[in-house]
Amino acid sequence: MRGSIWQRYLVLAALCGVAAGLIVLRIQAVPGEGRHQPAPAAAAVAFALPTQPPNGAILLFTGQADQMHANWYQRYTTHPADWTVDQEGVATPKRDDITSKQEFGDCFVHVEFRTPQEGGGNSGVGLQGRYEIQIFNSYGREPGTHGCGALYSQKPPRVNASKPPGQWQSFDILFRAPRFNDNGQLTEKPRATVFQNGVLIQNNEEFTGMTGIQYGEYKEMAKTGPLVLQGDHDRVQFRNVWIVPL
The enclosing domain of 131 has a CATH number of 2.60.120.560
pLDDT > 70? residue 209: yes
Quick check: 20 pLDDT over 70? no
Question: Residue 108 domain-assigned?
Answer: yes
At residue 43, the pLDDT reads 85
User: Which long-range contacts does 201-205 make (Cβ < 8 Å, 24+ apart)?
Assistant: 201/149, 201/157, 201/158, 201/159, 201/161, 202/133, 202/149, 202/151, 202/155, 202/157, 202/158, 203/10, 203/12, 203/158, 204/12, 204/176, 205/151, 205/155
Specify the 3-state DSSP secondary structure of 68: helix
Average pLDDT score over the chain: 86
Identify the domain containing residue 101 by its residue range. 58-245
Q: Is 206 exposed, middle or buried (0-12, 13-18, 19+ CB in 10 A)?
A: middle
Q: Considering the domain boundaries, does residue 192 fall inside one?
A: yes
Q: Is residue 52 part of a domain?
A: no
Number of domains in the chain: 1
In a domain, 111, yes or no: yes
Classify residue 32: in a domain, yes or no.
no
Whether the pLDDT of residue 5 is over 50: the answer is no
pLDDT at 120 over 70: yes
What does the alpha-carbon distance between residue 46 and residue 38 come to, in Å, rounded to a whole number?
Answer: 24
Mean pLDDT of 151-156: 98
Give the span between the Cα atoms of 8 and 3, in whole angstroms. Answer: 16
Whether residue 14 is contained in a domain is answered as no
- Do residues 147 and 156 lie in contact, with contact meaning Cβ atoms separated by under 8 Å? yes
pLDDT of residue 215: 87
> In whole angstroms, what is the distance from residue 104 CA to residue 106 CA?
7
Q: Does the pLDDT at position 168 exceed 70?
A: yes
Confidence at residue 188, expressed as pLDDT on a 0 to 100 scale: 98
Within-domain flag for 136:
yes
Residue 84 lies in a domain: yes
Average pLDDT over residues 48-69: 94
Residue 21 binned pLDDT confidence (cut-offs 50, 70, 90): very low
